[in-house]
């Protein structure tokens, strides 16, 4: 016998060796520490970059607003200058030469400002003169009024503004009905018009409309037009290198221009309508408008925020532009991807380095811990072989059981566990065998009792003089025998979970063929379905078959008529079971005997017990189907 002190000393030395197994938790802690530090570093770097990007978005918005303000200042200044000298150059009403000189002056003015697309003056008496820049950069002049019979004539012109060749004539042109004219008259001051289509070429523009006065009286409206495309090009040049997207919205929330060319108008022709920023078909435009609409005003910038669009993150800012008495807003969106991509690359590189460091630490720890891991792996493999009914699995760890440490104690416990498992398994087997014997005896006795009941009914029926009463007793005997077949099948097969329906239904058909006494009149055919059912479903199915086949044997083949009765149960692809009893007899219309006696009530009750549904059809015979789960 080993001295207790020596056992404790051995266990102490064993514990000293086993603590190397703590390397694995330490490695886990090391990995967690690395992961936490890397995650915090990543979050801090992203927060810092996001803060920088937010400031950049605000600066881009302010810069874009400044550029738009400068861009719009020239048309306003030109419009006010034209409004000042236009009445002086026109002269008296009906002076065509003066109108030509005015057109030449407008052309000369337009030539000085390449960003302007059209300069015009519409007078209160319906006279109109313009100069327009075409797509190829050339300039032309236009006239409308009494001299042109109300048509807008567009002329090619020379460098001095003289009309040379008539390019186009547009009938029924009245400047007083144009949106730029009506907006200036309604406002009574310099205003920007809504985007509208030029009648000359259908392109869209906005106009700086300036009321024209002569000697204190209103005489017309001067306009300076900018193509919407030029505004889109202007803001498209701001922030492009940062993945920026810009939108201009007027003081009523309608789109004026977008940097990516997305539509600012909806519809076509006469149905053309302006789009609100929040209703834009561009998801980014509508999301950007909603992100900035809730921001609180703060100076010129209404707010800077982060928002999601199309599954990606964006940084948005809003800057106001005051022009011509109106307040427009420049909305800016910067994609987070353009800022975060370098950080993500650095994060991946750092993660790879950390992974290599972790692999190195794991390799070193593995070499140190191998002395402990080897016995543990052997112990685990042996424990997996401890299967009840098989002995000798713990023999592999018997050597470990002699170790004076915790592993030795566990090995000893498993050796004892194997012995106790074998004893428990043997006891359970004996108990199970006893219960199976008892259960088989129960089914055997139930079967015998049912047969005794059937015999008593037979004896009692022999003493009856009423043929109908004897027939009723015989039917009851068939029903009892149908239930007895189930218990006989369970007793003989030894399987108490379920029974084969093919075997069970076959026994029922054999019994009916003999007891009804119509052998040779109708052939009973069993269609195999390879279905097994538990006792609670098998007995109702058997009773249903007993009733339906008995009914068919009695009524489907009168006057010695021959035929067949087909019985089967099958499982459909959807898992539903279908029990079918079909005959090729005379059918229900000729007195099949389905007028609703006790058998029909019994079938309906059994179908309800199965939780199913019954259908019957008669076409050259009778087919009854019962479907249940």
pLDDT score at 269? 64
- Cα(543)–Cα(481) distance, integer angstroms: 10
Q: Evaluate whether 520 touches 590 at the Cβ level (below 8 Å).
A: no
Q: Looking at 208-222, 517-531, 600-614, which range is the least confident one?
A: 517-531
- Cα(140)–Cα(151) distance, integer angstroms: 16
Q: Residue 225: beta bridge partners? A: 118, 207
On the question of pLDDT at 544 being above 80, the answer is yes
Q: Looking at 251-260, 370-379, 444-453, which range is the least confident one?
A: 370-379
Over pLDDT 70: what percentage of the chain? Answer: 83
- Dihedral sign for Cα atoms in the order 487, 489, 491, 495: negative
pLDDT score at 14? 39
pLDDT score at 297? 38
**Burial class of 494 by CB neighbour count within 10 A (0 to 12, 13 to 18, 19+):** exposed
CA distances from 515 to 90, 149, 458, 507 (A): 125, 115, 12, 12
Q: What is the mean pLDDT of residues 476-490?
A: 81
CA distances from 291 to 236, 256, 309, 316, 597 (A): 20, 18, 10, 7, 77
Q: 168, 128, 163: which is closest to 145 by C-alpha? A: 128
pLDDT score at 333? 85
Q: How sure is the predictor about 21, in pLDDT bands with cuts at 50, 70 and 90?
A: low
Most confident of 25-34, 154-163, 283-292, 590-599: 154-163
- CATH number corresponding to 54-338: 3.30.450.20
Strand ranges across the sheet with 255-258: 255-258, 244-249, 326-335, 312-323, 301-309
pLDDT tens digits, 386-435? 665 566 666 666 766 777 777 677 777 767 777 777 777 777 777 777 77
On the question of pLDDT at 602 being above 60, the answer is yes
Domains 54-338 and 498-629 share a fold: no
On the question of pLDDT at 608 being above 70, the answer is yes
DSSP 295: P
* Cα of 280 vs its chain's centroid, Å: 24
pLDDT score at 272? 72
- Cα(398)–Cα(145) distance, integer angstroms: 117
Q: How sure is the predictor about 5, in pLDDT bands with cuts at 50, 70 and 90?
A: very low
pLDDT tens digits, 58-101? 888 788 888 888 888 889 999 999 999 998 888 777 788 888 89
- Cα(471)–Cα(256) distance, integer angstroms: 97
| Other residues' Cβ atoms within 10 Å of the Cβ of residue 54 | 17
pLDDT score at 3? 40
DSSP 528: -
DSSP 585: S
pLDDT tens digits, 316-333? 888 888 876 678 888 888
Most confident of 35-44, 121-130, 273-282, 412-421: 121-130
Query: Which of 577 and 478 is assigned the larger pLDDT?
Result: 577
Query: Which of 104 and 298 is assigned the larger pLDDT?
Result: 104
The dihedrals phi and psi of 434, each to the nearest 5 degrees, come to: -65, -40
pLDDT score at 454? 75
Q: How sure is the predictor about 108, in pLDDT bands with cuts at 50, 70 and 90?
A: very high
The dihedrals phi and psi of 3, each to the nearest 5 degrees, come to: -70, 135
pLDDT tens digits, 352-389? 887 887 787 777 766 656 655 666 666 666 666 666 55
pLDDT score at 2? 42
Q: Residue 420: beta bridge partners? A: none
pLDDT score at 607? 93
Provide CB contacts within 8 A for 600, sequence distance 6+.
547, 594
Query: Which of 66 and 458 is assigned the larger pLDDT?
Result: 66
On the question of pLDDT at 284 being above 80, the answer is yes
| Other residues' Cβ atoms within 10 Å of the Cβ of residue 509 | 17
CA distances from 276 to 250, 255, 569, 585 (A): 9, 6, 67, 78
Q: Looking at 3-7, 384-388, 579-583, which range is the least confident one?
A: 3-7
CA distances from 502 to 531, 532, 538 (A): 7, 8, 11
Q: How sure is the predictor about 177, in pLDDT bands with cuts at 50, 70 and 90?
A: very high
On the question of pLDDT at 515 being above 60, the answer is yes
Query: Which of 353 and 444 is assigned the larger pLDDT?
Result: 353
Over pLDDT 90: what percentage of the chain? Answer: 25
CA distances from 436 to 166, 291, 488 (A): 113, 74, 15
Q: Give the tokens for residue 98.
A: 């003066």
Angle between helices 406-462 and 467-493 (to 10 degrees): 160
Exposure b/e, 17-32, CB count within 10 A at least 16 = b = bbeeeebeeebeebbe
Q: What is the mean pLDDT of residues 132-137?
A: 90
- Domain locations in the chain as residue ranges: 4-50+356-384, 54-338, 388-496, 498-629
User: Which CATH architecture fits 498-629?
Assistant: 2-Layer Sandwich (3.30)
Q: Give the tokens for residue 623.
A: 């087919």
- Cα(329)–Cα(311) distance, integer angstroms: 25
Most confident of 12-21, 250-259, 498-507: 498-507
Angle at 410 between CA 405 and CA 415, to 5 degrees: 125
118-123 and 217-227 as β-strands: parallel, antiparallel, unpaired?
A: antiparallel
563-571 and 522-527 as β-strands: parallel, antiparallel, unpaired?
A: parallel
Q: What is the DSSP string of 190-245?
A: -EEPPPEE-TTT--EEEEEEEEEEETTEEEEEEEEEEEHHHHHHHHHTSSGGGTEE
Q: How sure is the predictor about 446, in pLDDT bands with cuts at 50, 70 and 90?
A: confident
Q: How sure is the predictor about 16, in pLDDT bands with cuts at 50, 70 and 90?
A: very low
């Amino acid at each position: 016998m080993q001295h207790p002190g020596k056992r404790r000393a051995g266990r102490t030395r064993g514990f000293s060796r086993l603590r190397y197994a703590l390397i694995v938790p330490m490695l886990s802690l090391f990995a967690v520490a690395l992961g936490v530090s890397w995650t915090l570093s990543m979050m801090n770097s992203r927060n810092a970059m996001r803060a920088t990007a937010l400031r950049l978005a605000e600066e881009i918005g302010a810069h874009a607003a400044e550029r738009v303000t400068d861009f719009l200042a020239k048309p306003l200044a030109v419009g006010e200058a034209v409004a000042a000298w236009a009445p002086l150059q026109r002269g008296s009403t009906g002076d065509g030469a003066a109108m030509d000189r005015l057109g030449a002056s407008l052309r000369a003015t337009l030539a000085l400002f390449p960003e302007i697309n059209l300069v015009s003056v519409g007078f209160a008496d319906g006279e109109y003169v313009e100069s327009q820049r075409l797509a190829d950069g050339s300039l032309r002049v236009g006239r409308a009024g009494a001299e042109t019979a109300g048509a807008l004539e567009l002329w090619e012109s020379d460098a001095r503004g003289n009309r040379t060749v008539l390019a186009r004539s547009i009938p029924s042109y009245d400047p007083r009905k144009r949106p730029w004219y009506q907006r200036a008259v309604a406002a009574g001051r310099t205003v920007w018009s809504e985007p509208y289509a030029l009648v000359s070429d259908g392109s869209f523009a906005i106009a700086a409309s300036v009321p024209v006065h002569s000697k204190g009286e209103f005489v017309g409206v001067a306009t300076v037009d900018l193509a919407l495309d030029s505004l889109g090009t202007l803001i498209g040049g701001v922030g492009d290198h940062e993945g920026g997207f810009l939108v201009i919205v007027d003081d009523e929330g309608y789109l004026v221009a977008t940097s990516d060319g997305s539509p600012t108008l909806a519809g076509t022709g006469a149905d053309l309508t302006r789009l609100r920023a929040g209703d834009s078909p561009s998801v980014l435009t509508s999301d950007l408008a909603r992100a900035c609409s809730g921001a609180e005003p703060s100076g010129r910038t209404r707010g800077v925020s982060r928002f999601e669009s199309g599954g990606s993150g964006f940084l948005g800012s809003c800057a106001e532009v005051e022009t011509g008495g109106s307040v427009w807003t420049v909305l800016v969106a910067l994609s987070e991807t353009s800022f975060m991509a370098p950080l993500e690359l650095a994060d991946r590189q750092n993660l790879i380095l950390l992974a290599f460091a972790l692999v190195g630490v794991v390799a070193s720890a593995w070499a140190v811990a191998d002395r402990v891991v080897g016995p543990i792996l052997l112990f685990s493999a042996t424990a997996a072989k401890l299967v009840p009914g098989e002995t000798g699995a713990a023999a592999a760890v018997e050597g470990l059981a002699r170790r004076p440490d915790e592993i030795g104690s566990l090995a000893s416990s498993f050796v004892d566990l194997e012995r106790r498992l074998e004893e428990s398994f043997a006891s359970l087997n004996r108990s199970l065998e006893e219960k199976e014997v008892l259960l088989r005896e129960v089914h055997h006795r139930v079967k015998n009792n049912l047969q005794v009941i059937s015999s008593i009914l037979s004896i009692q029926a022999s003493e009856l003089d009423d043929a109908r009463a004897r027939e009723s007793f015989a039917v009851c005997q068939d029903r009892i025998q149908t239930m007895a077949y189930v218990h006989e099948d369970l007793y003989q097969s030894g399987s108490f979970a379920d029974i084969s329906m093919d075997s069970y239904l076959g026994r029922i058909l054999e019994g009916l063929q003999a007891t009804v006494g119509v052998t040779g009149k109708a052939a009973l055919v069993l269609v195999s379905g390879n279905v097994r059912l538990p006792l609670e479903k098998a007995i109702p199915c058997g009773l249903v078959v007993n009733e339906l086949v008995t009914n068919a044997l009695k009524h489907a083949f009168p006057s010695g008529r021959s035929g067949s009765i087909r019985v089967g149960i099958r499982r459909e692809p959807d898992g539903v079971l279908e029990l079918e009893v079909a005959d090729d007899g005379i059918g229900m219309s000729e007195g099949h005997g389905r007028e609703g006696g006790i058998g029909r009530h019994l079938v309906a009750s059994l179908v309800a017990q199965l939780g199913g549904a019954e259908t019957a059809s008669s076409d050259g015979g009778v087919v009854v189907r019962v479907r249940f789960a």
